[in-house]
Amino acid sequence: MSKETLDKVNEKLMTQFPGLHLEAELLYNFPVFTVDHTKAHEILKFLKEDPELNFHFLTDLTGMQTADEKQLGVIYHLHNMPKNMRIRIKTFFDISKPEILTATDLWAGANWMERETYDFFGVRFTGHPNLVRILNVDEMDIFPMRKEYPLEDQTREDKEDKMFGR
Amino acid sequence: MSQEIIKKTKLEIAKTPEGIEGPGFFATKVDEVIGMARANSLWPLPFATSCCGIEFMATMGSHYDLARFGMERLSFSPRQADLLMVMGTIAKKMGPTLRQVYEQMAEPRWVLSVGACASSGGIFDTYSVLQGIDRIIPVDVYVPGCPPRPEQIIDGILKIQELAKNESGRRRHSPQYKDLMNSFGIE
Ligand code: SF4
């Protein structure tokens, strides 16, 4: 089923967007597509509105960062319930300019998930109606899940590093 | 007769404060009477956020029965409450709320910090967790443990009772107390 989904979505995307740079692979039996971030919104819109693919449900949306290249990315999980098709869309951009079009116009459920991704990774979703922190304190001036920030609380002076294995 | 019954049931009745006793009268200090009244009518406000809060529920249940001392009346409103029980992990985002609850309580007020998280941030040495509630409000008694056993929570409450009983009536008006409050930025 997953291989079929992969092939079908791949073929559809290729006919719809000729010349698109698309990486399609099967990871743990799950179809994964890596797309260019400038095209991501268009592709998501197509995947949702195409009557055959009809990915009407955004299961998940989150950020990710690769340690080596300091690249930041956004990941979308899409689900077509009637046909039980699931795919994952990945897109990367330069960490110095973390901007991408919002998906809130396609799925209302993207609203909170994008706020969370902004809160933790600092990805700016252009067009989002209310892009402010959602889980962390407003005064926080870091994006905790980015690999350049320490996860420990920096205000402690009573914990000796050697006792905590760091 | 009544003495005998008390012995048999091992009941402990609140002791009368020291004073001068005679036929038909009893004279003692106002502080002691007020202390006794306060200690035996605590109104705790449980501020429970996580696992320690569950432990507290067990403490309230029939087996450990916090109410067996016949003195506490739990209330989920800061109004008239005089004992703030903080049980659980306090995220930095929740800090202002906790502080507001404390500020809304009436004087005299005591704070019981239950568990490693409330007392020191516990195992959560992370960017989002407040590393001890004593960074934003004064604490009277710390109960250690992760989570503490119900007996420990009860012990903490008895310690608070002891404090309330022996506190001078003037303590809350003293300059030291004002300084303490000011050091937390509370008027
Ligand atoms: S001290 Fe332990 S049991 Fe209590 S809230 Fe923290 S983690 Fe949970």
One digit per residue, the tens of pLDDT, for chain B of length 187 reads 455 555 566 666 767 778 888 898 889 888 888 888 898 889 999 999 999 999 999 999 999 998 888 888 888 999 889 999 999 999 999 999 999 999 999 888 999 999 999 999 888 988 899 999 999 999 999 999 999 999 999 999 999 999 998 888 788 888 999 999 999 988 7
Nearest to B127 among A151, A159, A164 (CB): A151
* B residues 111-130 closer than 8 Å to A (CB): 121, 125-129
Cα B12 from Cα A128, distance rounded (Å): 65
3-state secondary structure of B46: strand
Entry pTM: 0.81
Give the ipTM of the model, two decimals please.
0.73
Structure tokens at B152: 């420990």
Q: How confident is the model at residue A89 (pLDDT cuts 50, 70, 90)?
A: very high
Residues of A in contact with B129 (CB under 8 A): 153
The Cα–Cα gap between B18 and B170 comes to 19
pLDDT > 70 fraction of chain A, expressed in percent and rounded: 95
Give me the long-range contacts of B61-70 (CB less than 8 A, separation at least 24).
B63/B150, B64/B150, B64/B151, B64/B154, B66/B150, B66/B153, B66/B154, B66/B157, B69/B157, B69/B158, B69/B161, B70/B40
**Which residue from A137, A142, A154 is facing B92, i.e. has the nearest CB?**
A137
Ligand 1 pocket check for B122: Cβ under 6 Å? yes
| Cβ within 8 Å of residue A15, ≥6 positions away | none
Determine how many CB atoms are found less than 10 A away from the CB of residue A17. 15
The encoded tokens of residue B67 equal 């109410």
* pLDDT for res A47: 93
Contact yes or no for B128 and A152 at CB 8 A: no
The alpha carbon of A49 is separated from its chain's Cα centroid by a whole number of angstroms, namely 19
Q: Chains A, B: CB contacts under 8 A, how many?
A: 32
Contacts of A142 in chain B (CB under 8 A): 127
Q: Residue B14's pLDDT is what?
A: 67
* Centroid of chain to Cα A48: 16
Q: Is the pLDDT of residue A146 over 60?
A: yes
Q: What is the pLDDT of residues A99-127, one digit of tens each?
A: 999 999 999 999 999 999 999 999 999 99
- List own/partner pairs for A72-76 with CB under 8 A and 24 or more apart: A72/A98, A72/A121, A72/A122, A72/A123, A72/A146, A74/A37, A74/A40, A74/A100, A74/A117, A74/A123, A76/A44, A76/A103
Q: Per the CB < 8 Å rule, is A144 touching B131?
A: no
Nearest chain B residue to A144, by CA: B127
Instruction: Read off the pLDDT band of A58 (50, 70, 90).
Output: very high
Task: Kindly tell me if the per-residue pLDDT of A50 is higher than 70.
Answer: yes
